[in-house]
Amino acid sequence: MQAVVIDKVLVTGGTGFVGGAVLRELRARGRNAVAAVRASNVMLPAGVPTIQVGDLAPETDWRPAVGGVSVVIHAAARVHVMREITTDSLAVFRRVNVFGTLNLACQAAEAGVRRFIYISSIKVNGEQTRLGQAFRPEDIPLPEGPYALSKWEAEQRLRELAEASGMEVVVIRPPLVYGPGVKANFLSMIRWLSKGVPLPLGAIHNRRSLVALDNLVDFILICINHPAAANQTFLVADGEDLSTTEILKRTAIVLGRPVRLVPVPTCVLKFGASLLGKQALAQRLCGSLQVDISKAREMLGWTPPVSVDEGLRWMAQKKEAASSCGDSHP
């Protein structure tokens, strides 16, 4: 196989956490990158040209965006929704993540796009692993919930399209991504640590894989033109698995805050969570989720350029810089 010749890279989800970082790095490396956006008034990295296409939907016309494009990096998706109000959330997830993605990919293939990089999720593999038994790309998928199911179904449709059209598809399944601008549970953790609030999480001995935003972006960019990446599925992580207690300790250190963790036994935490109806949260805090990145290392020669401590430090520095400018939402 020959390496992909890069003419133009189209990025979806450019206003998001991962897509925005991909666009910034593409521009920094002098790549010809363009962002597909819903509306004209969105916030994007400086200097990034845009093409307005509307929503990620089955009926969206992508032809103006994919024309002349060599590679599509598809980071847009419908993600987890708190307080879901629809009675059929799987149908809503499928409309966006499966049929919306397939519509984009079909039009990309028709336009002559050579490679389609799909940012999936480790949740396709499952929600947790046994301690010391990491997920691998070739494992039988065990997705749970509408989001994970929609991601898995999209992967299958993309593989079928690749076989039929000849367009190369690369699937990347990251675990929890952290870095400047992180939200959701990781942001809540940072806020609690910043306040110095004692947390009952000082005796958790699980193992979890994380991926720094810089590491994920670096891997995505390698997949743009590495010939061995064609039609492969990769798991990506920092290469160092930590317990929840270790993650909290290291984050507190880089934030410059005292580490106040109370060593409450895991069984007590799980029991208390069950009484409060927070079993899912307890599973994320106490359960293991490990990722084997040996395929990425061996097939692509990739090594995570950023360590966990460096990733956490960079996240903390950006948080402090934002706070000094009056931004209370890191």
14: phi > 0 → left, psi -120 to 50 → alpha, else beta; which? alpha
The phi, psi pair for 73, rounded to 5°, reads: -105, 110
8 vs 67: CA distance, rounded Å: 9
Q: How many CA atoms lie within 13 A of 78 on its CB side?
A: 24
H helix or E strand, kind and range, residue 276: none
264 vs 153: CA distance, rounded Å: 40
Residue 147 annotated to the active site:
yes
Long-range contacts of 221-225 (CB under 8 A, 24+ apart): 221/22, 221/25, 221/26, 221/29, 222/300, 222/302, 223/115, 223/117, 223/170, 223/172, 223/300, 224/4, 224/6, 224/9, 224/71, 224/73, 224/115, 224/117, 225/3, 225/4, 225/5, 225/6, 225/71
From 99, 118, 147, 178, active-site residue: 147
**Annotated catalytic sites, by residue?**
147
